[in-house]
Amino acid sequence: MMRHLGFAAAGVASAALTLTALGTTTASAAPQPARSGGTISAGAPTADCGGNPYHLRVLQAIDASPSGRSLTARNTKYFCGFDDGYFAPVGKPTKFHFAPGAKATLLNGVHEEKVSLTDLLRRVHTCKSNRSAVHWPSSCNNQYVITVNKAGAITTIAQRYHP
């Protein structure tokens, strides 16, 4: 179950429940592409893995603006896989903006670390151009759990652990 959350921040988990009305990702009942070796391949997934149990909204980061005020990312959809579910990018890249005072969290190994939004966006940009520039225990995992306000601006963003 921790692989779905990506981190143990209770505030984001409880805030994610409010995202249900804002169009969060949800599991699909119809057979979807299954993941194989880090890519999506044709083939029906195995048994129902329970959907997106925490109703998380997850983005797949592509790049950050030089000004540090926006993030280009793709929305994701939750798919059931062979041993449990995963988030895969869907749709076209979109520019996401941040609310004033947005909170950011990066992973240091499997431990969360509160950072400035600038630090998080710098990591996204660095990982785009050179994934090996970020050394263990940090990583270039490019999926982020977000919460948004009524205007759609990101209020919290946290790097998601996924193998």
Q: What is the DSSP secondary-structure string of the chain?
A: -HHHHSS--HHHHHHHHGGGGGT---B-SS--PEEETTEEESS---S---S-TT--EEEEEEEE-TTSSEEEEEEEEEEE-SSSEEEEE-S--EEEEEEEEEEEEEEETTEEEEE-HHHHHHHHHHHHH-GGGSPTTS----EEEEEE-TTS-EEEEEEPP--
- Express each pLDDT in 104-121 by its tens digit: 999 888 889 999 999 999
- Express each pLDDT in 42-101 by its tens digit: 344 444 566 666 678 999 999 998 777 899 999 998 888 777 788 899 999 999 999 999
Say if residues 113 and 106 touch (Cβ distance below 8 Å).
yes
The larger pLDDT score, comparing residue 145 to residue 69, is at 145
- Express each pLDDT in 2-52 by its tens digit: 444 443 333 443 333 333 333 444 333 333 444 433 334 334 444 456 666
The larger pLDDT score, comparing residue 26 to residue 137, is at 137
Give me the pLDDT at residue 100, please.
94
Q: Is the pLDDT of residue 157 over 90?
A: yes
Say if residues 72 and 93 touch (Cβ distance below 8 Å).
yes
